[in-house]
Structures are given as C-alpha cells and as structure tokens.
Chains A and B, each alone.
Chain A
Amino acid sequence: NAGVTQTPKFQVLKTGQSMTLQCAQDMNHEYMSWYRQDPGMGLRLIHYSVGAGITDQGEVPNGYNVSRSTTEDFPLRLLSAAPSQTSVYFCASSYTGVYEAFFGQGTRLTVV
C-alpha cells in the first residue's frame, strides 16, 4: 500500500518562481489537506478538500492555490514563491468524520 505519496521530497526555488507540490492517495479518502510546518511551530492548515471538485481555505491560504479534479490527487500550487514560504509541507487524507489521518512524508521547500 502506497498510502499518501508526496513529490518532490526536496525542492529549491528562486523567489518569484512557480511550482506544484504533488499529493496522491490510494485509499479512496474523501478528505485531503495541506499543512505547512515551520521550525518550532506546529502544523498549520493551508487548504483542504472534502471531495472531488470541492476545496476550501485553511488557516494560512495566501500565496497557495489548490484544485481537486480527482479523488486521488490534491496538488498545491505556489504561483510566485516567496522566502516566507520556505517550510516543510505535509499532505494528509482521511475518511469523512474520521480523524485518523494519514500523512505523507513531506516536501522540504526552500525559497531563496
């Protein structure tokens, strides 16, 4: 079982560049979420989706876009990277109404 797969694992971007962080799950989960984690801080929710075609903002959505065209995939797009977006990004998925979430291994992003 693959679970939640995030790619890439590491990425360095220059300020102003755009990129997409990929997240895929093979458990047929309705819920998918993106979190970021900065040093010494807990995970903060960026965007989430309760099913294909439905997305909503979390706690820190600015600078990020998401879409959910399939149940399996939930990509996170950075339109114009900024140094403040240097962080570790985690994708998670779960069934509706269940908080046993499965997390990916993270993408470590550095914006220079």
Chain B
Amino acid sequence: DAKTTQPPSMDCAEGRAANLPCNHSTISGNEYVYWYRQIHSQGPQYIIHGLKNNETNEMASLIITEDRKSSTLILPHATLRDTAVYYCIALGEEGGSEKLVFGKGTKLTVNP
C-alpha cells in the first residue's frame, strides 16, 4: 500500500475552510485514498474516500489531483468540533478494517 505524507499540524479559523493536504506519490492505480479523523480520546471516524474523481459528502470534500499523486481534504466551514487529528490512508481493494494503517496524521486546530 502506498505511503502517505501529511503536515504534522495546521491551524484554521472557525467558519473558514480547512484544506488538509496529503501526498501519495507512489499510489498505484487500484488504491483508494481514505480520510479518517480522531477527535481527542475518541475512536477514529471515517470521513470520505475516493479513487480518481472528486468526492463530496455531508462532512467534507475530497479533491484528488489528475495524476493522483496528492489530494486535499476540505472542510468547508470548520467549527471548533472539527479540531482533531486527520489521517490520510492509501489502500488497495483487498481486506477490510485490518488494512488500515494510521500514521501520525495532521493535527488540525480550529481557533475561535
């Protein structure tokens, strides 16, 4: 599975968009990009995933570059409750929850 690289920390003002980058330059054609977040002391929470096309759901948008070497998770109107560690994970099609390998992620702090 491809390795991903994320900045260790980011800050965002409440109400503004939070754009979290992820580099996955070695991603292969059948690997999806998954995003999870972990709010302090809680279990990780699935946010969104995508393969090639941009994706949007009620929580966030995922923008994947055309060459698929990087992606950006966008929280359109960040709130204080979005303060969390965000994990970007690149995975192929086999397996299940046991294939999730969480790196250090990006600690996002939303400031009032």
Contact mask B69-112 → A, CB, 8 Å, 1/0?
Answer: 00000000000000000010101011111111111110000000
Q: Establish whether residues A97 and B93, one from each chain, have CB atoms under 8 Å apart when the complex forms.
A: yes
A105 touches which one: B43, B89, B103 (CB < 8 A)?
B43
Contact mask A80-112 → B, CB, 8 Å, 1/0?
Answer: 000000001010111111111111111000000
Interface centre among B32, B49, B99, B104 (most CB of A within 10 A): B99
Given contacts A31-B97, A45-B98, contact A99 B43 (CB under 8 A): no
**In the complex, which residues of chain B have a beta carbon less than 8 angstroms from the beta carbon of A33?**
96-98, 100
Counted as pairs of residues, one from A and one from B, with CB atoms less than 8 Å apart, the total is: 79
**In the complex, which residues of chain B have a beta carbon less than 8 angstroms from the beta carbon of A92?**
43-44, 97, 100
Q: Establish whether residues A101 and B97, one from each chain, have CB atoms under 8 Å apart when the complex forms.
A: yes
* Interface positions of A (Cβ within 8 A of B): 4, 29-33, 35, 42-43, 45, 48, 50, 56, 58, 88, 90, 92-106
**In the complex, which residues of chain A have a beta carbon less than 8 angstroms from the beta carbon of B46?**
100-102
User: Interface size on B (CB < 8 Å)?
Assistant: 25
- Known: A31-B97, A32-B97, A97-B95; 13 extra A-B contacts, CB below 8 A, are A29-B96, A31-B96, A31-B98, A42-B104, A42-B105, A43-B102, A45-B101, A48-B96, A48-B97, A94-B97, A99-B95, A100-B46, A100-B49
13 example contacts (A-B, Cβ-Cβ < 8 A) are as follows A29-B97, A42-B87, A42-B103, A45-B100, A58-B98, A90-B43, A92-B100, A94-B97, A97-B94, A99-B89, A100-B49, A101-B46, A101-B100
Nearest first, the 5 closest Cβ-Cβ pairs linking A and B are A31-B96, A103-B43, A48-B98, A101-B97, A94-B97
